[in-house]
Amino acid sequence: MKHRKLANQLEVSALGLGCMSMSALYGPPADRQEMIKLIRAAHERGVTLFDTAESYGPFVNEELVGEALAPIRDQVVIATKFGFDIDLATGERLGGTNSRPAHIKAATEACLKRLRTDRIDLLYQHRVDPEVPIEDVAGAVKDLIAEGKVKHFGLSEAGVQTIRRAHAVQPLTAVQSEYSLFWRGPELELLPVLGELGIGFVPFSPLGAGFLTGKIDENTRFDPTDFRNNVPRFSPEARKANLALVDVVKALAERKSATPAQVALAWLLAQAPWIVPIPGTTKLHRVEENLGGVDLDLSADDLDRINEEVSKIQVQGERLPEAALKMTGR
């Protein structure tokens, strides 16, 4: 497995594993014991970065990840997130965001227990809280780092000015946001700022929530509990129009004797050496397929061809429901 460094200090496998879909949002939760086996099998194949959050469930995904990684804790990097208003005793969602410093510290203590560990390698603010100055958030995490309970600080779906302000108080190791050939918004402002400040980037949904695998079309039916049912980009009409993008990926995959997923991941990895995608899955053969993207070399001509052909395609539909979009880029 190839490795990369986030902020030139946190070394991780070039591809991580997003664990959210094992417990939430993509349909009913998968079998817990099977997911424990999957996480451990991913590590056996070289994966060292595992991504979770208190809100996935809530709590059940952290508990799953904690149990799976407990026997190999010192061999892996665990990333989790705080920032939503969740009752820490019951898991009840109380409202929107909550990044008050006292809540951050209490939430982190709860995360440590669920993850069965004495430190969190990478702690993200899940969404920016408009009611709490980011300097206060960064200060709270700085305190946790000083106490040894957290090793590295990150932000998720934050705007560039928020990133600059947080970084001035407690240097950021990583920023997490959606990025793929299906959503290239970070290229406008985010990636240049991360490159300038020396902050790593961890793209979630690097396969476009499954769309770039080529396994989804306008006739695909999602489970009623799957969040994609509420995403404009995944309406049947949008999917039909957006298949033009998948065709570009499929064509290159055929030329490279690879799969569309491998091409999509290799393209992401080629954008910068400090990018570490975290595709999620509940299937071992998909983990193995995705890892094949790490060793797929795309030439400058390949990348130019992708950019040229994709630039002609206007992707249809917003990437998130309106309410969720309002919580990003703040």
Q: For strand 77-82 and strand 49-51, is the pairing parallel, antiparallel, or unpaired?
A: parallel
Report residue 304 as tokens: 């130019």
User: Are the CB atoms for 154 and 324 separated by under 8 Å?
Assistant: no
For 84-118, give the DSSP string: EEE-TTT--EEEEE---HHHHHHHHHHHHHHTTSS
- Of 205, 153, 177, 191, the closest CA to residue 328 belongs to 177
Does the annotation mark 56 as catalytic? yes
264 burial level (CB within 10 Å; 0-12, 13-18, 19+): buried
CB atoms under 10 Å from CB of 32, counted, come to 15
Pairs from 249-253 (Cβ < 8 Å, separation ≥ 24): 249/181, 249/212, 249/214, 249/306, 250/214, 252/298, 252/302, 252/305, 252/306, 253/214
- CA dist 313 and 299 (Å) reads 22
Alpha carbon separation from 64 to 53, 60, 105, 119, 319 (Å, rounded): 11, 6, 22, 17, 28
**Among residues 26, 56, 124, 179, which one is catalytic?**
56
What is the number of residues in the chain?
330
Q: Which residues are catalytic?
A: 56
